[in-house]
Amino acid sequence: MHRDNETVRLEAFSDGVFAIAMTLLVLQIKVPRHEAVALKGLAQSIVALWPSYLAFSTSFITILVIWIHHHWIFKLINRDGHALFYWNGLLLFCVSFIPFPTALLSEYLIHPDARVASTLYSGTFLATSISLFALWRHASLHLLSPSASEQKIDEAVQLTNQYRYAPPLYFLVFILSFISESWSAGLCLLLALTFAFGGWPDKGNH
Amino acid sequence: MHRDNETVRLEAFSDGVFAIAMTLLVLQIKVPRHEAVALKGLAQSIVALWPSYLAFSTSFITILVIWIHHHWIFKLINRDGHALFYWNGLLLFCVSFIPFPTALLSEYLIHPDARVASTLYSGTFLATSISLFALWRHASLHLLSPSASEQKIDEAVQLTNQYRYAPPLYFLVFILSFISESWSAGLCLLLALTFAFGGWPDKGNH
Amino acid sequence: MHRDNETVRLEAFSDGVFAIAMTLLVLQIKVPRHEAVALKGLAQSIVALWPSYLAFSTSFITILVIWIHHHWIFKLINRDGHALFYWNGLLLFCVSFIPFPTALLSEYLIHPDARVASTLYSGTFLATSISLFALWRHASLHLLSPSASEQKIDEAVQLTNQYRYAPPLYFLVFILSFISESWSAGLCLLLALTFAFGGWPDKGNH
Amino acid sequence: MHRDNETVRLEAFSDGVFAIAMTLLVLQIKVPRHEAVALKGLAQSIVALWPSYLAFSTSFITILVIWIHHHWIFKLINRDGHALFYWNGLLLFCVSFIPFPTALLSEYLIHPDARVASTLYSGTFLATSISLFALWRHASLHLLSPSASEQKIDEAVQLTNQYRYAPPLYFLVFILSFISESWSAGLCLLLALTFAFGGWPDKGNH
């Protein structure tokens, strides 16, 4: 109960930012213009939007996964404090920036300059994964309840192990984006799916 | 009380996505441009936007109905778990995609290629109804409290009966969209209204 | 406590729609284009946007007032039910439509066809005030706690008296819009301010 | 517990407006058009968007700081009342207007008329800081619990001291915007960072 009083509004506010950033992504899928449709038909024009669908799906799943992790972190901690507001604010900053590189990738994935769009896209995800890692590091070092149950500590250890891999993996995808924009974009989707399905803390009752 | 701690944040987050997706729909109704208004007057230009109003109303009511069903499902269950996050995530993915086919239908309902727009529109609703069905199937099989009251079980049975019909009905509308785009679009609205007014669990005090 | 379980999620969801509809209004204020700025300077271009500021302020204050009334209504009732979802859904439908007539008025308030924009604008407010009245009528007749305190009943009576005036007043403004678009638009702002400052239930501790 | 019943919905609604205003800011960063990219490449086009990044960051951090302060204010008070709704509504009005001057500054920071954009930008922040100050003044004079603990009173005194500086500082930045638009815009960012890192109430357990 006491925990609620301290972090409940921070969680609700963060949820708002996550939910809005995810839902705004759809605005980046542009309805084909009448001139283009006159040329090649609506069906083909919609199919030609596949970079938009790819970017939408990847960003949506990534933000959803970040939200789930955020949810876990706040289930384990029971206090707030100055620094938590900073690290959480940094994470929200990254998350609410994501719609821009998503729109950029949608527009320029099939273009000679696709590499630039892909670099900014994976670079944003790299920054986001680092800020999530920093938030977790701070929370696990300072805000775990001193009287945490053994199960909670187990979960914390598992999350720590998992977060260790996210920033270096996104760093590799970022480096790769200088070489091949399609591989890099595809791996962003693969990573999001991996973290979604692979990384659940192992709990009996869950 | 215990139930709250497990699903309350998941519900609040989902509510955010539903509310935003519904409210973003209005951005797809485009203010008529000055050139068009100069040609045929503002009154006629606004009337000519009727496909936008139809698509806005249909999508708004459909998402509202999905939200109400989501609300019922979460009133019946009292635990969360990995799989609930996946099925719920899939539903949110479908719901937050809806503004795009809505915008497409607004733009191309009176156009030779209207059939394509209508197919994507009803196809999105088909996918959404399947994901709601899957969420409910999972929840009713695994997350109903073992000690549920008889009334809760009754409601669950009623919801199961009702959900059985949604996916096949939307499948018919989807098939119909290949034949007649206006019938298909109209039936989407009719289905939303039917589910809104017809499908309430029969409870004494409700 | 019992009340919370029944209406708390409905309130949170409605709050989401209100907050988003209010905040989306700002997107209708369009940054002046470079060609227009080249012609008459940025300062004049910004001043020329006054219809946008007027429409933004009026719609923002109106939705805020509706939210405050919504808040009161839900403080007085302690049950939900099928019909509440319908009436509340109808109100949310009207509220989330408001950004469109707002954008239309911003664009066409200084235009020969301004009357049309003004009619749709005040017509939307008329519909919204009727749906708020209907929501309140339903709530006050069916959902007031039978064991309500005398103070609660007093507040309900006051709200009833107040709501009696909103629909006819907006009807007058709607009729007026066929005669003078600027008076009608100005009165919409005046009415919003009047309801904001004039209509508080008279409570000792409030 | 009693406190919750009175202000919890006001806080949740305000959080919604803050979160949406912050997240909408990203829509003002416009994807470069294909013609511009054909001329100077995508990398340079993205770099040329630096006024957008500056405006996005400044506005995001400013709204985040206002949210944190809002959070503190509502932790100290435990009643609501008519006037609180007005002052809070005024603050929300200012906050939800911020995306417009942000978009204007993004578009016109490197333009002969930049001064106008910068004046509106810092003027909006000045108005916002005054309305936050007014909200706090009202809350601290009328809504502090009479039986407040000494720690709460200490925090209130500290917040009062801090808020004393915000409006005059933003007034200076506003004046400065008539002389140098770049200094003024830069100082807005600096002020936001200063308030973010400098102004925490000094509590042992925080």
- Res. D44 pLDDT band, cuts 50 70 90: very high
Please give the average per-residue pLDDT across C62-83, as a whole number.
84
Do the chains contact at B100 and A15, CB–CB below 8 Å?
A: no
What pLDDT score does B206 carry? 39
CB B105 within 8 A of CB B177: no
Segment (H or E) for A13: helix A2-24
Do the chains contact at C64 and D89, CB–CB below 8 Å?
A: yes
Do the chains contact at B13 and A26, CB–CB below 8 Å?
A: no
Residue B97: its chain A contacts at CB < 8 A? 26, 56
Q: Which residue has the tokens 């959404």?
A: B128
What pLDDT score does A196 carry? 81
What pLDDT score does D3 carry? 41
Measured on CA atoms in the order B94, B96, B98, B104, is the torsion positive or negative?
A: negative
Measured on CA atoms in the order C48, C52, C55, C57, is the torsion positive or negative?
A: negative
- The average confidence (pLDDT) of chain D is 86
What pLDDT score does A37 carry? 92
What pLDDT score does A202 carry? 52
Distance of CA D71 to the CA centre of its chain: 13
Q: Which residue has the higher pLDDT, B196 or A179?
A: A179
Residue B202 pLDDT more than 60? no
State the SS3 of chain C.
CHHHHHHHHHHHHHHHHHHHHHHHHHHHCCCCCHHHHHHHHHHHHHHCCHHHHHHHHHHHHHHHHHHHHHHHHHHHECCCCHHHHHHHHHHHHHHHHCHHHHHHHHHHCCCCCHHHHHHHHHHHHHHHHHHHHHHHHHHHHHHECCCCCHHHHHHHHHHHHHHHHHHHHHHHHHHHCCCCHHHHHHHHHHHHHHHHHHCCCCCCCC
What pLDDT score does C162 carry? 76
Length of chain A: 206
- Determine the Cα–Cα distance for residues D102 and D97; give it in Å rounded to an integer: 9
Residue C140 pLDDT more than 50? yes
Using CB atoms, pick whichever of A15, A26, A61 lies closest to residue B13. A15
Q: Hey, of B2, B9, B24, B121, which one would you mutate to test binding to chain A, going by the most A CBs within 10 A of its CB?
A: B9
Nearest to D29 by CA among A132, A173, B101, A120: A120
Please give the average per-residue pLDDT across B91-96, as a whole number.
97
Q: Which residue has the higher pLDDT, D45 or C144?
A: D45
Highest average pLDDT, of A1-15, C8-22, D130-144, D188-202, comes from C8-22
Q: Which residue has the higher pLDDT, B127 or A82?
A: B127
Convert the pLDDT of each residue in C87-129 to its tens digit: 999 999 999 999 999 999 999 998 888 999 999 999 999 999 9
User: Which chains are within 8 Å of A by 3+ CB pairs?
Assistant: B, D
Residue D199 pLDDT more than 80? no
- Res. B82 pLDDT band, cuts 50 70 90: confident
What pLDDT score does B205 carry? 39
What pLDDT score does C141 carry? 82
With 0-12 / 13-18 / 19 or more C-beta atoms within 10 angstroms meaning exposed / middle / buried, residue D141 is: exposed
Convert the pLDDT of each residue in D100-112 to its tens digit: 999 999 999 988 8
- Determine the Cα–Cα distance for residues C132 and B142; give it in Å rounded to an integer: 40
Amino acid present at B131: S
- Res. B6 pLDDT band, cuts 50 70 90: low
Q: Which residue has the higher pLDDT, D116 or D145?
A: D116
What pLDDT score does C23 carry? 94
What pLDDT score does A200 carry? 56
Closest chain D C-alpha to A204 CA, distance in angstroms: 33
Highest average pLDDT, of A175-189, B98-112, B150-164, comes from B98-112
Residue B79: its chain A contacts at CB < 8 A? 205
Residue B100: its chain A contacts at CB < 8 A? 26, 29, 31
Convert the pLDDT of each residue in A31-79 to its tens digit: 999 999 999 999 999 999 999 999 999 999 999 999 988 988 888 887 7
Residue D120: its chain C contacts at CB < 8 A? 46
Convert the pLDDT of each residue in D46-88 to its tens digit: 999 999 999 999 999 999 999 988 988 888 887 777 788 889 9
- Res. B32 pLDDT band, cuts 50 70 90: very high
Q: Which of A147-161, B170-184, C81-95 has the lowest mean pLDDT?
A: A147-161
- The average confidence (pLDDT) of chain A is 86
Amino acid present at C49: L
Q: Which residue has the tokens 């707002």?
A: C102
Residue B113: its chain A contacts at CB < 8 A? 37, 41-43
Q: Which of A84-98, A182-196, B33-47, C37-51 has the lowest mean pLDDT?
A: A182-196
Residue B3 pLDDT more than 80? no
Nearest to B70 by CA among B197, B159, B169: B159
Residue B26, CA distances (Å) to B133, C25, C26, D61 in order: 27, 11, 14, 28
- B-proximal residues of A, 43-102, CB under 8 Å: 43, 46, 56-57, 60-61, 64, 67-68, 71
What pLDDT score does D82 carry? 76
> DSSP secondary-structure letter at A28?
G
What pLDDT score does A3 carry? 41
3-class state of residue D111 by DSSP: coil
Closest chain A C-alpha to B73 CA, distance in angstroms: 19
- Res. C130 pLDDT band, cuts 50 70 90: very high
Q: Which of A81-85, B103-107, C190-194, D99-103 has the lowest mean pLDDT?
A: A81-85
Residue A155: its chain B contacts at CB < 8 A? none
Q: Which residue has the higher pLDDT, B119 or C158?
A: B119
Please give the average per-residue pLDDT across A130-150, as a whole number.
82
- Res. B86 pLDDT band, cuts 50 70 90: confident
- D-proximal residues of C, 126-155, CB under 8 Å: none
The verdict on C105 touching B (C-beta cutoff 8 Å) is: no
